[in-house]
């Protein structure tokens, strides 16, 4: 009996978009996610509106995640990964392993009583970040006394809905599905790999993602060191893109840097933002308007710096080649933001091996041929989103929807051919 279910692996924006389309079309969807919360990277991006919307689409992500969590056709399995794949086209058998969560997300009402009584510092049981979905508390095995051998069940005792359970083992289950959509997303380029840029050494060197999270959670930009407002900010583009290890453009960085610069200037017109770039990626719907407005207030310098040093006063000295003058210059900034790129997910290797799908040269999942958008070398297995290559949010959503359409076609074809037993 051919399966009418679809498995979507990964609950970032692309996976969620896929799942929603399928669910709205009446298909039963299993949405699995390796973390305890869904949404992936884009769930913690901030709104970059100034006096008008800057089209960053971060709000679209929160809408879609909410829709997915309450949709009756979507079964959400967090803390879950794929262990094995069997079966045949039309009736794939997928082995899933679900790590114990200890706090049952169906029963947790986020009352906070457990955190109040937890004796450790930092707390071993805590709320997820504010915009997290599902909004259920998380027990950290690494911090919890019980998992270190001590006898403590204070949180369990305080829980009014009996949501906490310690004696849990990883659970295995087998899913029968008609198609699989891999939407496992990306890893942020680890800026520590470019040691000379100072990330991890100097507290006032941040990545673009760090900045987004600061805006979402604090609302204002303040220097990590002294809490003052930065007056002079540098953005460095192409950190982890268009270099020896990454032969591609990450597509999102120029836009997010410019939009963050716009937001910073809107909040504080006196702050000077400088963007160091190779080629400014300003193409795309809705961007030209924004660019026209902000290009006068931002200082653009062609040429990406390779070294940042912290001065005695705590400022960051950026050494770069001023191409128009043809010499090496130094400028001081309060804050440096590294526009880090999109790298292939580290888990891609394992998943590729388990599912039998190919990786391309750059480490992202490969598509069958240039004229396909989601098909892999395995029939019935599709890719969606940044796990296949860098994309911004609208393109990730579109790619997810496209994958859903391919999955539906496979289900229809399997049904009409009466495949499977």
Work out which of 126, 291, 293, 307 binds other proteins, going by CB under 8 A: 291
Q: How far is the CB of 133 from other proteins (least distance, A)?
A: 8
Measured from the CB of residue 336, what is the shortest distance to other proteins in angstroms? 22
Site for other proteins in 143-162 (CB under 8 A): 159-161
Q: Which is nearer to other proteins, 47 or 145 (CB)?
A: 47
Among 97, 111, 143, 188, binds other proteins (CB under 8 A): 111
Asked if residue 136 binds other proteins (CB under 8 A), the reply is no
Q: Are 11 and 39 in contact, with CB atoms under 8 Å apart?
A: yes
# binding residues, other proteins (CB under 8 A): 84
Which stretch, 29-37, 78-86, 193-201, 402-410, contacts other proteins (CB under 8 A)? 402-410
In the block, residue with structure tokens 């079309």? 25
Q: How far apart are CA 336 and CA 151, in angstroms?
A: 46
| Smallest distance from other proteins to CB 306, Å | 17
Examine residue 306 and tell whether it contacts other proteins (CB under 8 A).
no
Of 241 and 271, CB closest to other proteins: 241
Q: How far is the CB of 202 from other proteins (least distance, A)?
A: 27
According to the binding rule CB under 8 A, does residue 245 interact with other proteins? no
* 266 is an interface residue for other proteins by CB under 8 A: no
Q: Within positions 29 to 88, which residues make up the interface with other proteins, using CB under 8 A?
A: 45-47, 49, 51-53, 55-60, 62-63, 66, 69-70
The Cα–Cα gap between 182 and 395 comes to 16
Using the minimum distance from each CB to other proteins, give the nearer residue, 134 or 420: 134
Q: Which residue in the set 154, 223, 352, 401 belongs to the binding site for other proteins (CB under 8 A)?
A: 401
Between 33 and 131, name the residue whose CB sits nearer to other proteins. Answer: 131
Tell me how far, at minimum, the Cβ of 68 lies from other proteins, in Å.
12
Q: Which of 101, 164, 406, 414 binds other proteins (CB under 8 A)?
A: 406
**Contacts to other proteins from residues 164-203, by CB under 8 A:** none
Listed in sequence order, the residues at least 6 apart from 227 whose beta carbon sits closer than 8 Å to its beta carbon are none
Q: Does 117 bind other proteins (CB under 8 A)?
A: no
Which positions from 315 through 344 interact with other proteins, judged by CB under 8 A? 323-326
Residue with tokens 């390796």: 34
Pairing verdict, β 272-277 and 298-302 = parallel
Site residues for other proteins, 208-227, by CB under 8 A, read 216-220
Give CA–CA dist 128/152, Å, rounded: 22
């Amino acid at each position: 009996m051919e399966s009418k279910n679809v498995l979507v692996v990964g609950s970032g924006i692309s996976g969620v978009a896929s799942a929603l389309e399928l669910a709205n079309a009446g298909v039963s969807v299993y949405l699995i996610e390796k973390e305890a919360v869904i949404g992936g990277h884009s769930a913690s991006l901030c709104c970059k509106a100034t006096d008008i919307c800057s089209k960053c689409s971060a709000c679209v992500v929160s809408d879609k995640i909410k829709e997915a969590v309450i949709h009756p056709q979507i079964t959400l399995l967090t803390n879950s990964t794929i262990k094995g794949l069997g079966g045949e086209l039309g009736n794939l058998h997928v082995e899933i392993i679900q790590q114990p969560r200890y706090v049952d997300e169906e029963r947790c009402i986020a009352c906070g009583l457990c955190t109040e009584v937890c004796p450790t510092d930092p707390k071993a049981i805590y709320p997820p970040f504010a915009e997290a979905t599902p909004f259920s508390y998380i027990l950290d095995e690494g911090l919890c006394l019980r998992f270190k051998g001590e006898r403590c069940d204070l949180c369990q005792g305080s829980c009014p809905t009996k949501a906490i359970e310690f004696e849990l083992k990883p659970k295995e289950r087998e899913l029968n599905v008609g198609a699989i959509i891999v939407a496992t997303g990306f890893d942020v380029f680890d800026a520590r790999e470019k040691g000379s840029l100072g990330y991890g050494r100097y507290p006032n060197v941040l990545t673009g993602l760090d900045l987004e999270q600061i805006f979402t959670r604090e609302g204002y930009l303040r220097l990590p060191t002294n809490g003052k407002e930065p007056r002079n900010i540098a953005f460095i583009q192409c950190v982890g893109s268009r270099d020896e290890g990454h032969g591609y453009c990450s597509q999102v960085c120029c836009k997010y840097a410019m939009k963050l610069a716009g937001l910073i200037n809107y909040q504080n017109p006196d702050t000077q933002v400088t963007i160091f770039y190779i080629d400014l990626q300003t193409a795309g719907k809705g961007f030209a308007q924004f660019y026209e407005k902000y290009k006068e207030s931002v200082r653009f310098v062609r040429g990406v710096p390779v070294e940042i040093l912290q001065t005695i006063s705590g400022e960051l000295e950026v050494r770069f080649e001023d191409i128009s003058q043809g010499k090496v210059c130094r400028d001081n900034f309060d804050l440096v933001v590294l526009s880090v790129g999109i790298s292939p997910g580290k888990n891609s290797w394992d998943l590729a091996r388990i599912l039998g799908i190919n990786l391309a040269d750059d480490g992202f999942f490969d598509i069958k041929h240039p004229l396909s958008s989601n098909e892999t070398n395995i029939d019935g297995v599709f890719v969606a989103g940044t796990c296949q290559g860098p994309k911004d949010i609208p393109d990730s959503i579109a790619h997810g929807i496209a994958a859903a359409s391919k999955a539906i076609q496979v289900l229809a074809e399997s049904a009409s051919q009466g495949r499977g037993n």
